[in-house]
Structure 1
């Protein structure tokens, strides 16, 4: 239940995109699954126009791949060597972000980030691993947006979403939450080097 979270007003398209992200992250929509616009339109009770917009959005995010005359499908799992490259690129972007956060985080930001980690803990306790993944991503997204705005987020986001297709469930809740707490504590005390070290340990 997300009753304790601030209510975000999502457009219908955003809600459908969010549902499809969950389906892909959870594996309900497996890699290489072909999407049928007509079936999706029927499932969500919409015309095909908004469904096309959602498919375009998720293609930009790296979750779907669209080919002319073939339609869209869930992106494939990365080859191990490409996954390694993706991890390295994502790590570099996030280290860049951490190094550009000095004096940018206010007390309000730290409260918001602590709330994200409380939600992460709660999702682990419910064993809702799809939600765990989404909350984990939102923590990193918050820091990246604070460091470099939409420009940096738009560079980073496809890496993190595409990498997710390779992951099996994150099952070690304590370790995962503790890694994020360590990053947050280092940022709070202005210790960039320790924050970078914690981040590198978390992205693997």
Structure 2
């Protein structure tokens, strides 16, 4: 029974992750209506399982559920809201960098190096949806190392909402260099340099 439960959770998370990518890449457009029936057919699962996924995504700010009106993709944040989200994200990740460097958890550098390698490969391949996923994963390593799931749960809705249809002009070479500066500064335990590199990257 536990095995079945684990499989159900895994399938739900796979569907949720696919929909996150669709939303933040713009494949599912802002304000687009989505239905349990259509998603159940797409993924070959029950409407109940889709309902659970949509509830999860609504908590992350990607989906809006309205009584008697169904579910729609949330709108792109306004300029003012985007600016606020950048400040909030910077505050959380600055805190995370300082905490992580102070604590120096064993897996931090290995996990961050692996995430950087994956991000670099995605950038060079030019797949926007996968780049977005890999970029979030890189920063998530730092946040997780600093505060575990509690801090990630505070940070993730802000990041996902920020990234909706987000296309900051940045060449793959520039993006790789920005993340390498963050990684190198953390490797050297230089919090000031790491925060400066972070501020150059998140804008």
2:176 is equivalent to residue 177 of structure 1: yes
Higher helix share: 2
Tell me the residue number matched to 1:124: 123
Distance in 1, matches of 2:105 and 2:98, equals 16
Q: Once the 2 structures are TM-superposed, how far is the Cα of residue 107 of structure 1 from its aligned partner?
A: 5.5
CA RMSD of aligned residues (A): 1.6
Asked if the contact 1:13–1:54 (Cα under 8 Å) also holds between the matched residues in 2, the reply is: yes
Distance in 2, matches of 1:155 and 1:78, equals 18
Distance in 2, matches of 1:103 and 1:42, equals 48
Q: Once the 2 structures are TM-superposed, how far is the Cα of residue 170 of structure 1 from its aligned partner?
A: 5.5
Figure out how many residues of one structure are paired with residues of the other and give that number: 196
Moved more, 154-163 or 59-68: 59-68
Distance in 1, matches of 2:102 and 2:80, equals 37
Structure 1 gap segments, 5+ residues each = 1-8
Give matches, 1:149-164, under 5 Å: 149-164=148-163
Q: Once the 2 structures are TM-superposed, how far is the Cα of residue 200 of structure 1 from its aligned partner?
A: 0.9
Asked if the contact 2:108–2:142 (Cα under 8 Å) also holds between the matched residues in 1, the reply is: no
Distance in 2, matches of 1:94 and 1:33, equals 31
Asked if the contact 1:129–1:169 (Cα under 8 Å) also holds between the matched residues in 2, the reply is: no
Tell me the residue number matched to 1:3: none
Q: Once the 2 structures are TM-superposed, how far is the Cα of residue 105 of structure 1 from its aligned partner?
A: 2.9
Runs of 4+ in 1 over 2 A off after TM superposition: 102-109
Asked if the contact 2:16–2:53 (Cα under 8 Å) also holds between the matched residues in 1, the reply is: yes
Asked if the contact 1:144–1:152 (Cα under 8 Å) also holds between the matched residues in 2, the reply is: yes
- TM-score, L = length of structure 1: 0.90
SS at match of 1:31: coil
Q: Once the 2 structures are TM-superposed, how far is the Cα of residue 169 of structure 1 from its aligned partner?
A: 6.0
CA deviations on 1:82-124 (whole Å, 9 max, x unpaired) are 1111111111111111121134334542122111111111111
CA deviations on 1:53-109 (whole Å, 9 max, x unpaired) are 000111111211111221211110111111111111111111111121134334542
Tell me the residue number matched to 2:72: 73
Distance in 1, matches of 2:27 and 2:37, equals 18
Q: Once the 2 structures are TM-superposed, how far is the Cα of residue 32 of structure 1 from its aligned partner?
A: 0.6
